[in-house]
Amino acid sequence: MNVSITEARAKLSELVRRATAGEEIVLTRRGKAVARLLPPPVKEDLLPRIGALKGKIRIADDFDALGPEWAEYSR
């Protein structure tokens, strides 16, 4: 939807409501696009926060065991 700046001043609340609903509004001055009102970005959670990786990560039993190369440091 194209709207002149003059018309946008008079109908700003309506234009913001329409943009929030997903419509893109182009503001024009003398017939040329000068700005756009866009819908807010869609926030997508990539993973649920709690328990997202349950059963997908495994830690070896000897995870914290030092190898023989560390023997001189553990004396």
Structure confidence at residue 47 (pLDDT): 64
pLDDT greater than 90 at residue 13: yes
- Domain layout of the chain by residue ranges: 1-39
Please provide the CATH number assigned to the domain covering 1-39.
3.40.1620.10
**What CA dihedral angle connects 25, 30, 31 and 32, to 10 degrees?**
-70
Strand partners, 37: 25
The residue count for the chain: 75
Is 19 within 8 Å of 1 (Cβ atoms)? no
Q: What is the mean pLDDT of residues 68-74?
A: 84
Instruction: Summarize pLDDT for 23-60 with one digit per residue, the tens.
Output: 999 999 999 999 999 998 877 766 677 887 888 999 99
